[in-house]
Structure 1
Amino acid sequence: MRPHPWSPSKVATIWLDYASGAGVHDSGQSLTVRPRERRKNANLADMLDAALEFRCTRIMLTGEVPASTRADDAHHWLFTKTPGWTPGAHWFDAPATGRFTHDLTGHKVEVKLAAEWFGHAVTHPREARDAWLIVEKAIADVSKGHAKMFLTPGGTGTNMWALSLPENVDPGLVADDIAEEIHATSGQHRIEHLVAGAGRCATGCADCAPMPLPEGPLETFAYVDGRFMYAACMRELGVGPGRRLTGPQAAELLARDAYARARYKVRVTVPEGWPHVGLLPKKHDNVADGWHYPNRPGASWETWADGAEVRVALNEGWYVEPLEAVEFDKARVLDTFADRMTRARERVSANADLDPVVRRAAAAALRAIVIQTIGSFASRGRSTTQVFWNARQIPAEHAHSVRELGGAYVVKVPGTSNATRQRGFYRPELASQVWGRARARVLIGPSGVKGWNTGALEVGPEELIGINGDAIYTTRVPQWALGTDHGGADDGKVGRLRLQGVIHDVPMPATSGERNTLRAQAEAAGIDAYLTALTTTGEA
C-alpha cells in the first residue's frame, strides 16, 4: 500500500524569544511583544495576542524556555492562564506543543519550540527563522521542488518519503499481529552507562557487569558519534506483509543468508570469558525500566532482535539459538529518501556563505527530520492534554478522568490517527530495522579504510564509559575516529563514527547524567585543539 503525499499550506509564523518577547516575523520584520498591564516581561497570553495582530497561526519559541516534559508538572510553561484564549489539545511531553483559540475571533494559534527542529544550535529568533528558510530550500531542491515543511520534522520527513517512493515500489503492509509484536519487542536507542555503581543498570541487575575502568579522575574524555547515522541504515530494507518462520526454518534462513531481512526470536547465552559490553537486548521485567544489555558470562535469556544484531552476536562467538523469526521482502523503500536527505545535508554543510550558527542549526534540523521520520513510522497517535480553568468547561465524556492540578482541571486524551490517510505511513517494520541496524553499527561498523572497523567493540573495555544511541564515550581517543587526513578511518561519509569533542582532567562520571554533562562540555570544546596538539607534537 503506497502512502499518499500531500502539499500543506504555508503557516504564517512569528519567531519569539521566550524570555524577552523580542523576535521576527516570517517576512523578516523585527518585532517585540508588549506585555499587558504593568508587567515587565511578556507572557504567553501576550505572545498569542501578537500572533493575532500579525494574523499568524504559529509561534516558534527560542531561548531559555523552562525545561519540563511532564503533563503532571504544574510548572510546565504551557500550564498558565491565557485570558482571552481557550487552551486546546496540548502536547506537554517533548517536543511540547500548545494549541489555543481566541475567544472572540476563533483565530487558532499553535505554539511550538524551535528546539524541536534545531536542538540547542540556535537561541535567537532570527537565527532560527533563517535556518528554517535554508532547510525549506534544501529539501525542495533535492525533491524537484515538491517537498514542503510540515508542522513537525516527522511530518516533513514522512511526506518526503512518500514523494520519493519509486513508482515501481508498492510496499506491502505488515500483518496486524506482526505489527503488535514489533511494538512489544523492539526498542529504539541503546542507552547504557558502563561505570561501576548505581548508574550501571536501571535495576542494579547482576547480569550487567561494569567495564574495568580505572578509578579516579580521567585524563581524557572523548565523545564520538555517528554522522547522519540513520541515513546509512536505510538501504534495501524489508517490507511486509512478513512471513512467520518456525525455529528450524529460522535457523536454516540464518545459516543460508545471514543478511536476510528478518527479525529473530532467539535464546542467547553470553560465552565464558566474555570481557566486553552486551550485544543483544533484554527487556526489564518492569517495562518502564526499558531495555538492558546483559554481558555477564553465562547469562542466558530469550529476546527478539534484528538480523543485523544477531549477526554481530554470532560473529563474536555468542551462543544464539533461533526459536522463530519473521522474514520480510527486500525492497528499495527508503533508499531514495536517504539519498535526498544526505544530499540536502551535504549542500547545507558545504555552503560556506552561511553564518556558522545558522548552518549548524539547519544541519540539526535535517537530522531531526530523519530521526523523527523513523520514529513516526512506528507511531500510533500521540496522547494530548487539555487544561480547563473552569470546571464547567469540562466535556461530559472526560468527567471520569479529570484531575486537579495547580488550581486547574487536567484531562488526558488518548491519541488517535486518521486511519485512512495514516495507514500507508504506518511502517513499524521499517523503524525497527533502522533502529536495529544502528544499534549493531555502534557496536561494530565499517570505516573509510579497508580492514579497519569502528565501534564500541573496537575500543578496549577498560576505556569504554558508555553508549547513547549512536554515540560512545571513551577515556582515550580511538584512532579510527579521526579523519583520514589525521591518520584515522573517517572519510566523511554518512554513518561513520567520528570524533566530536575532547576534554581533559575531568572526574569519572558516576551516572549517565554526569556523563551527559561531560558530553556537552566536550562538544563545546570540539576537536580543533586536540588535532592541533596532535599535529604539532604527535600527542594530545
Structure 2
Amino acid sequence: MDRKTYTAKVAELRPLREEIGKAEKMVAAAQAALDKLNLQRARRITELAGYEGAQAPAIAKASGLSVGDVVRIAPLLDPTPAAVRAAKADDQAAAVAAPAPAPVVEPVAEPVAAVAPALTRPAPVVEQPAPAPAPAPALAPVEVEDQAVAEQPAPVAAAPAASVAPVAPVSRPAVESGPRELPTLPEGPAGARFEAVTNGLVSKRPNFTQQARATVFLDAAAGMLAVRDQVVRLDLGARTPGEILDAVLATAPGTERIYITAGAPWHDGAERYSTLKDAVVAWLNTPSERWTTAIGSGRDKLAGHFVHQRQPVGRYAPAAAPDGPVTEIRSMGEWFDPDGADVVTCRQAFTLLWQALRRHWDDAVLMGSPSQTGRDLWSRTIPTTGKWAGGYPVLSEELRGLLHATGGQGRTELILPPRVPEQLPALVEYDRTFAYAKHLWKSPVGVPRRITAAGFAAMTGQEQVKALMSCSHWNIRVTVPQGWNHVGLLPAPVTGDRAWIYPSEPGATFTTWAGGAEVHLALSNHLMPWKVEILGGLLFEDGKPLDEWGKRLKSAWADLTNLSKLHGDERQRQAAYLASRAVRSVLLFGLGGFAQRPRLVSGTTALGEALPAGVEILGQDDTVTTWQRQAGFSRDPNAHPEWAAYVWSGARAALLDMKYRQGKEVVGYAGALHARPGSVVYFGTDGIALTERQPWPYRGEVGDYLLKGHLTGPVEHPTSQEQYLKLRGLGRAELAAAATKGADQ
C-alpha cells in the first residue's frame, strides 16, 4: 500500500465513524426503551403476585418469561410446596444448631512459615483445668439493608424466673461441615493488585448539605400518628401499604418517610405463609389502585422494596406518576427497639438524637437508616489539612475482596457441654457498653505493605512485635497448645452457614486470617501462648480516619445517656435513652457500611446450554437453570473494609481480654480469659454470658463490661441460640426486679 492509498483509506474512516456513532445512539435509545418496558413488566408481575390465586406458570406464559424469572421478580409466586420450604428451613436451623469439627490442616504442600515469638506477660494463678473443650458453632447473624451484620434476636417477652422449664436435650443431626479454604496473596504481577488502590476512587469530604425528609411516626396498632407537634388518630383500614399511605398523606401532605413504631403491619396474616419473609413480601406488594413500587430517579436514590423479616422498607410512588415523589414505610427498629414507647416518645427521641448530633455537626441530617446517617456524618469529618486532606483512597477490588473473605465480624458462639455443665448454676450476662466506640482511635490507612513469611522471619524480635501490634492483617497457621482448657482465641473458617468457629481443643491446627490484635493476644495471653506461624500478611500505616467521628458520636451518646438518668420528666428520660441507643446504631451500622460487600447477580440459562463461569446453581426446572454469581464491587467512594475488619478484630480480642487503665497505667483486666475455665456459655458480638458473676468494675465508660442479666439457677443449658435468648430475657427481667426491690428498700 502506497501513501496515497493509505491517506484515502484513513479519510474513509471518518464517515464510517459518524455512521457508527449514529447507530450506537440508536442502540442506546432502544436499550433504554427496552429497560423501561422490562421495568413495567416487572411492576405488573409484582402487582399480580398480590392476588391470592396468582400462579407463576400462567404469568410466565403471558409475560414471555420463564417460571424462574417470574419467581425471582416476585418470590411470593414460588410454586415450591410449603412443606418443602418448611423442611428446608428446618434443615438450615438444624445446621446452625449442629457443632462443627475443628478444622485440621493436612500435612501436605504446606507454605513456608515464620513462627511468631511468644510475647510474655505476668501470669496470674492458674485455675483447675476443666474437661478438654471441643469446638462449638458460631451462630449466623442477620443482615439488615445497608447496615452492618448484627445480632437481631426476636423480641422475647419477660417472664418470672420461676417459669423456667427444663429444656429437653435435642438430637443434633450430622452436618457436612469442614475446613473452608481462604484466599491467599498470590505471587508475581497478580500480587501487585493486593498492594494498590482503585484509580480515581477516593473518600472525599462532601461539598453539599443533605436535605431533610418530611418524617412522621405511626403506631399502626393504635392508629396514632405523630406529625410535628400533633398527635392524630387515623383509620388505617386493613393496614395495607396503600391504606396507610392514603391515611397518612391525607393528614400530613408531603410526607416522605413513615416510621412504624408499633404494630408491624407487614406481619398481618403471617400464619397463612410458610415463612415470615413470604408474609412480608406479600404485604409489601399488596395491589393498590393509587400506589405502585417506586422506581426511583437520580444516581443516589434508592428504588424498590427491601425485604427483611422484621425491618422491611417499602418504597412507593403514585401509580399515576411512578417517577414522582417517593414515600417510604420503615421500621423504627432500624434505629432502636421502641420497647413499648408511644409515638410521641419515639418522635421526641428522634428530635433529641438530631439535637445531640447537631452539637457536633452543624449540618447533621438524619437519613433513612443509621448506616446511611453514620457514613454521611463520617464523610463530614474527613480532614481538610494534612496528608489525607484530599480524601482516603479506596483499596483495589482484589484487596477488598480478600478482606471481605477473610475479615470476620462479631463473634457469636454458643458453647455446649461437655465444655460447660449440662445444668448451669446461673446464667449471668455482661455487655460491653458502646463497645465498638472503644476501638476507633486507630485504623489502617493508605496502601498496605505485603509481608512474606521470609520477610517476617528476617525481622528482629522488636520489629515483629511492632508489626503485630500495628494495623495489620495476617495469614497464619495456628496450633492450640497442649494443656489448653479455655475458650478458643482465633477464628477458623468452615463451610456452611456459620462461616467461622473458634477451635480450642489441644493440638487442633488450622489455617486462617486474623487481625493483629487477635494474633498478638494469642501470643501474649496470660494463660498460655499459642503457636502461631506467619504465612504472610498486610501491614498498613497507622492512622486516625475514624477517631474524630468516634469522639463526636461518643460525646453525643454520653450527653443523651446522662440526660436519660437526670431529666426530671419520665417521658424525656425514656426518649433520651432511646436516642442514645440510636447513636449506638449510627456507629455500629455506619461502621458495617464501610465493609462493602460484593454484589450478587442472578440469571437463568436454558437447559443444555453452557452455564457462565463461576456460578452457583440455585435451582432447575424442565426448561432452565437458575444461578447466581458474585459480580464484584460497586464503585463506592466510602468502601473501606480494612476499617471494619480492624475494629471487629479489636472487639473480638476485647471479648477475651480487656484492660482497665488510669492514664497509661493498667489497673485491671476483664474478659472471658479472666473467668474460670468452663464458665463461659455464650459470646454475642459485644457481650458474654457466664455461669457466675465477675469482679469486673463498671465505670460507665465505653467498652466497660456492664452486668445486664442474672438468672438464678439451676438452669438447663440452652441447646440453641433461640433458647439462649429466651433465658437471657428472663435473666434481664430478674436483675431488673432485684434492682427495683433494692431501690424500694
The TM tier, using the shorter chain, reads: 0.7 to 0.9
Is this contact kept in 1: 2:261–2:338, CA < 8 A?
no
Structure 2: give runs of 5+ residues left out of the alignment.
Answer: 1-201, 295-303, 603-616, 620-626
**Residues 416 and 274 (structure 1), Cα distance of their counterparts in 2 relative to 1, 3 Å cut:** closer
Does the alignment pair 1:73 with 2:288?
no
Q: C-alpha distance in 1, partners of 2:548/2:483? A: 44
Residue identity in the other structure for 1:42: R
Q: C-alpha distance in 1, partners of 2:344/2:331? A: 14
Does the alignment pair 1:48 with 2:264?
no
Does the alignment pair 1:189 with 2:410?
yes
Which among 447, 450, 466 is matched to residue 241 of structure 1?
A: 447
Question: Could you tell me which residue of structure 1 aligns to residue 515 of structure 2?
Answer: 306
1:347-362 counterparts in 2 under 5 A? 347-351=559-563, 352-353=566-567, 355-362=572-579
Question: Could you tell me which residue of structure 1 aligns to residue 258 of structure 2?
Answer: 59
Question: Could you tell me which residue of structure 2 aligns to residue 492 of structure 1?
Answer: 700
Does the alignment pair 1:375 with 2:589?
no
CA apart distance, 1:412: 11
Tell me, what secondary structure is at the counterpart of 2:668? coil
Does the alignment pair 1:439 with 2:665?
no
Which among 195, 199, 213 is matched to residue 11 of structure 1?
A: 213
Q: C-alpha distance in 2, partners of 1:241/1:122? A: 48
Residue identity in the other structure for 1:51: V
Is this contact kept in 1: 2:473–2:537, CA < 8 A?
yes
Question: Could you tell me which residue of structure 2 aligns to residue 34 of structure 1?
Answer: 235
Is this contact kept in 1: 2:205–2:382, CA < 8 A?
no
Tell me, what secondary structure is at the counterpart of 2:210? coil
Does the alignment pair 1:172 with 2:393?
yes
Does the alignment pair 1:91 with 2:306?
yes
**Larger displacement relative to structure 2 (172-181 or 371-380):** 172-181
CA RMSD of aligned residues (A): 3.1
Question: Could you tell me which residue of structure 2 aligns to residue 270 of structure 1?
Answer: 480
Which among 465, 476, 488 is matched to residue 255 of structure 1?
A: 465
- Which whole-Å deviations, capped at 9, do the CAs of 1:105-126 have from their partners, x for residues lacking one? 5442111100000124454222
**Residues 428 and 295 (structure 1), Cα distance of their counterparts in 2 relative to 1, 3 Å cut:** same
Q: C-alpha distance in 2, partners of 1:345/1:261? A: 27
CA apart distance, 1:70: 7.7
Q: C-alpha distance in 2, partners of 1:19/1:413? A: 41
Q: C-alpha distance in 1, partners of 2:742/2:370? A: 39
User: For the pair shown, which has the larger CA radius of gyration, 1 or 2?
Assistant: 2
Q: C-alpha distance in 2, partners of 1:9/1:428? A: 28
Is this contact kept in 1: 2:280–2:312, CA < 8 A?
no
**Larger displacement relative to structure 2 (169-178 or 232-241):** 169-178
- Which whole-Å deviations, capped at 9, do the CAs of 1:63-98 have from their partners, x for residues lacking one? 142569989524554243334211241110364211
Does the alignment pair 1:454 with 2:662?
no
Q: C-alpha distance in 1, partners of 2:632/2:425? A: 51
Tell me, what secondary structure is at the counterpart of 2:316? strand
Question: Could you tell me which residue of structure 2 aligns to residue 108 of structure 1?
Answer: 326
Is this contact kept in 1: 2:477–2:512, CA < 8 A?
yes
**Residues 402 and 321 (structure 1), Cα distance of their counterparts in 2 relative to 1, 3 Å cut:** closer
CA apart distance, 1:256: 4.2
Residue identity in the other structure for 1:276: H
**Identical-pair percentage:** 28
Is this contact kept in 2: 1:84–1:103, CA < 8 A?
yes
Question: Could you tell me which residue of structure 1 aligns to residue 680 of structure 2?
Answer: 464
CA apart distance, 1:310: 0.4
Question: Could you tell me which residue of structure 1 aligns to residue 31 of structure 2?
Answer: none
1:316-355 counterparts in 2 under 5 A? 316=525, 317-351=529-563, 352-353=566-567, 355=572
Q: C-alpha distance in 2, partners of 1:127/1:249? A: 59
Tell me, what secondary structure is at the counterpart of 2:344? helix
Question: Could you tell me which residue of structure 2 aligns to residue 21 of structure 1?
Answer: 223
Q: C-alpha distance in 1, partners of 2:667/2:738? A: 29
Q: C-alpha distance in 1, partners of 2:292/2:484? A: 59
Question: Could you tell me which residue of structure 2 aligns to residue 206 of structure 1?
Answer: none
Tell me, what secondary structure is at the counterpart of 2:725? helix
1:128-147 counterparts in 2 under 5 A? 128-143=346-361, 145-147=362-364
Tell me, what secondary structure is at the counterpart of 2:401? helix
Structure 1: give runs of 5+ residues left out of the alignment.
Answer: 197-209, 386-400, 404-410, 481-488
**Residues 527 and 460 (structure 1), Cα distance of their counterparts in 2 relative to 1, 3 Å cut:** farther
Which among 456, 479, 482 is matched to residue 695 of structure 2?
A: 479
CA apart distance, 1:416: 10
Question: Could you tell me which residue of structure 1 aligns to residue 723 of structure 2?
Answer: 514
Does the alignment pair 1:158 with 2:368?
no
**Larger displacement relative to structure 2 (102-111 or 225-234):** 102-111
Question: Could you tell me which residue of structure 1 aligns to residue 583 of structure 2?
Answer: 366
Is this contact kept in 2: 1:131–1:361, CA < 8 A?
yes
**Residues 523 and 282 (structure 1), Cα distance of their counterparts in 2 relative to 1, 3 Å cut:** same
**Larger displacement relative to structure 2 (259-268 or 82-91):** 82-91
- Which whole-Å deviations, capped at 9, do the CAs of 1:325-377 have from their partners, x for residues lacking one? 01111111111111100100011111122633212211110000000011100
Is this contact kept in 2: 1:225–1:498, CA < 8 A?
yes
Question: Could you tell me which residue of structure 1 aligns to residue 432 of structure 2?
Answer: 226
CA apart distance, 1:222: 1.2
CA apart distance, 1:138: 0.5
CA apart distance, 1:512: 1.6
Question: Could you tell me which residue of structure 2 aligns to residue 406 of structure 1?
Answer: none
Residue identity in the other structure for 1:477: R
1:404-443 counterparts in 2 under 5 A? 419=635, 422-423=636-637, 425-443=638-656
Tell me, what secondary structure is at the counterpart of 1:305? strand
- Which whole-Å deviations, capped at 9, do the CAs of 1:378-406 have from their partners, x for residues lacking one? 12487899xxxxxxxxxxxxxxx999xxx
Q: C-alpha distance in 1, partners of 2:628/2:560? A: 40
- Which whole-Å deviations, capped at 9, do the CAs of 1:134-186 have from their partners, x for residues lacking one? 1001111022x122211111111111111122322343332332111001111
CA apart distance, 1:509: 1.7
**Residues 147 and 315 (structure 1), Cα distance of their counterparts in 2 relative to 1, 3 Å cut:** same
**Residues 525 and 413 (structure 1), Cα distance of their counterparts in 2 relative to 1, 3 Å cut:** farther
Question: Could you tell me which residue of structure 2 aligns to residue 393 of structure 1?
Answer: none
Q: C-alpha distance in 2, partners of 1:372/1:78? A: 24
CA apart distance, 1:248: 2.4
Does the alignment pair 1:290 with 2:499?
yes
Q: C-alpha distance in 2, partners of 1:131/1:255? A: 46
Aligned length: 481
Residue identity in the other structure for 1:469: T
